[in-house]
Amino acid sequence: MSKPHTPHFPGGPASHPHPDAHTEQRIRTFHPRRGRVTHGQQTALERHWTNWGVDIDGSPLDLGALFADADLAADRPVVLEIGFGMGDATAAMAAADPGTGILAADVHTPGQGNLIRLAERNGLTNIRVANGDAVILLRDMLAPGSLAGLRVFFPDPWPKARHHKRRMIQPEFVALAVSRLRSGATVHCATDWEPYAEQMLEVLTADPHLVNAHGEGYARPRPDFRPMTKFERQGIAKGHVVNDLVFTRR
């Protein structure tokens, strides 16, 4: 087994938290994006990563312990958000629902730093940031029935036909994610790419454990509780139609 890569700066997220993730024989839905980390983002990561950050290394994760210092009930619901960009919408949803823990997973170091900076600035103790492959997080680190929800907002649409296999919302991924959801949990996806919305609807509808919250065959406009994201505004400016899909775990 190879060793995980060390952080780019002391106390920060590892560059490759799972030492053998790159050797797994499966399609990658993302590639690590380090980018330029600002001084404020780096300071936030160095100050809070030890307590608020999780490197996705394959070790089982105790969500109760992870959110132990948050002002949440003992049976706190925890929602997993995969891909949060710069974290503005995630922080807004955390502020609007302080009783829910949000485990936000991404591989974009500047975004990780910005979300932690927003959490610190706004006193949001109900956010934890996970760094690495969400498949490994779901498969190896989270217990069955441990999540109260899954959010996937504006994942890469991979518009070219030959790249469709790289889309995140596929039957295998959904089956894995659903196995980690408790009964009554919500799966909420959003995209501004209509062909991908159609695929999402087809895949989610086909899962026997999910029920469309808005009736069979329907997506819906953005609900008020989901803040508009930067990617969403960019898509709307290009004339794209945004679809939200909300399903409930049986």
Of the options 3.90.226.10, 3.20.20.80, 3.40.50.720, 3.40.50.150, the CATH number for the domain spanning 144-250: 3.40.50.150
Note whether 39-132 and 144-250 share their fold. yes
Q: Are 52 and 119 in contact (CB under 8 A)?
A: yes
Check residue 181 and give its pLDDT.
Answer: 98
Q: Are 166 and 27 in contact (CB under 8 A)?
A: yes
Predicted confidence (pLDDT) per residue in 124-151, tens digit:
999 999 999 999 999 999 999 999 999 9
Per-residue confidence band for 204, with pLDDT thresholds at 50, 70 and 90: very high
Q: What is the rounded average pLDDT for all residues in the chain? A: 91
Q: Does domain 39-132 have CATH number 3.40.50.150?
A: yes
Predicted confidence (pLDDT) per residue in 72-108, tens digit:
666 789 999 999 999 999 999 999 999 999 999 999 9
Pairing of strands 147-153, 181-191: parallel
Tell me the domain boundaries of the chain. 39-132, 144-250
Q: What is the pTM of this model?
A: 0.91
Q: Are 146 and 139 in contact (CB under 8 A)?
A: no
* DSSP-assigned states of every residue in 165-215: GG-S--HHHHHHHHHTEEEEEEEEEEES-HHHHHHHHHHHHH-TTEEETT-
Distance CA 169, CA 189 (A): 9
Q: Which of 50-64, 68-82, 223-237 has the lowest mean pLDDT?
A: 68-82
Catalytic residue among 88, 97, 140, 156, which?
156
* 57 is a catalytic site residue: no
* Burial of residue 27, with CB atoms counted within 10 A of its CB: 0-12 exposed, 13-18 middle, 19 or more buried: middle
Helix (H) or strand (E) holding 39: helix 39-52
